[in-house]
Amino acid sequence: MKKEIKIIYEDKNLLAINKPAGLMVHPTADTKEKTLVDWLLKKYPKIEGVGDPSASSGQVDPLRPGIVHRLDKDTSGVLIVAKTQEAFDFFKKQFAEREIKKEYLALVDGHLKKDWGIIDLPIGKSKADFRKKTTQTKSAGKTREAQTEYRVLEKFDKYDLVQLFPKTGRTHQLRVHLRALNHPVVCDKLYGFNGSICPPGLERQFLHAKSIELLLLNGKNLKIEAELPADLKTTLAELRAK
C-alpha cells in the first residue's frame, strides 16, 4: 500500500491509526483500489471475524472487520479499530451512547459570524445528488438529529481555522453542517462552492480528525491524538506568512 499508515496506539484490544487522506476505510461494491481494510486483514488476520453479524447470514461483514467508525476518504486523522469482538461491542456502545469525544480541525471558506456556536440541524439524504447529505427540510426519506459544536481558532484573510466537536456521528456531518452555514470546508469537492479557490498547493479538503477520547476495557480513560499531516501544516504556514 503506497499511503503510509502510522500506528498511534495499540494494545491487545485496540488499534488507533493516523489515516492518511486519499485512503478509503473499507471497500464498496465498485471499489478496486486498496483500502484500510486490506491493510488490516494482512497485518491482523484474526480481525476478520470481528464486527456486527448480518441479520440475514449471521456472519460479520467481510468488508468492515473491526471497523467501529469511519472517516471520509479525503479526511485524515485518528481512527480506531477494535481487534477483538469484546472490544468492538464495548467501543460501539460508547459511540451509540455518545460517550466518545472527538475533535476535528477544519479550514473553512470565509468568516463565521460567531466565534463559537452549536449547529443543531437534522441531516438526511439529498434528493438532488445521491452522493450527498443535506440539512434541507425536503430531503429524501427521514432525517436524523445532528449536532456539531464549533470554535474559531484563527482567522486568515479569506478563511477561518475552526475546531469541531461532533456530538453525533452522521455521514458527512461536519461537511454538511459547515455548508449549511455557508462556510464549507475549503477544497471540499462535494460540498464546496462552485468556483471556490483552494489555497495554493492544497489538493484535498482541509479536514483532520485531531483526537478521540474514550474509555478502555480496563476502565482507564485514553485520549489519542493524530499529528496534522504535512500538506495541512504547509497550508497553515503559508497562510500565516502572508
Which residues have a catalytic role annotated?
72
Per DSSP, helices labelled H in the chain are 36-43, 85-96, 173-180, 230-241
Residues 6+ apart with CB under 8 A from 169: 69, 95
DSSP class of 48: G
> Measured on CA atoms in the order 214, 219, 221, 222, is the torsion positive or negative?
negative
- Strands 76-82 and 6-10: what pairing? unpaired
Question: How many whole angstroms separate alpha carbon 173 and alpha carbon 151?
Answer: 16
Phi, psi dihedral angles at 138 (to 5 degrees): -95, 60
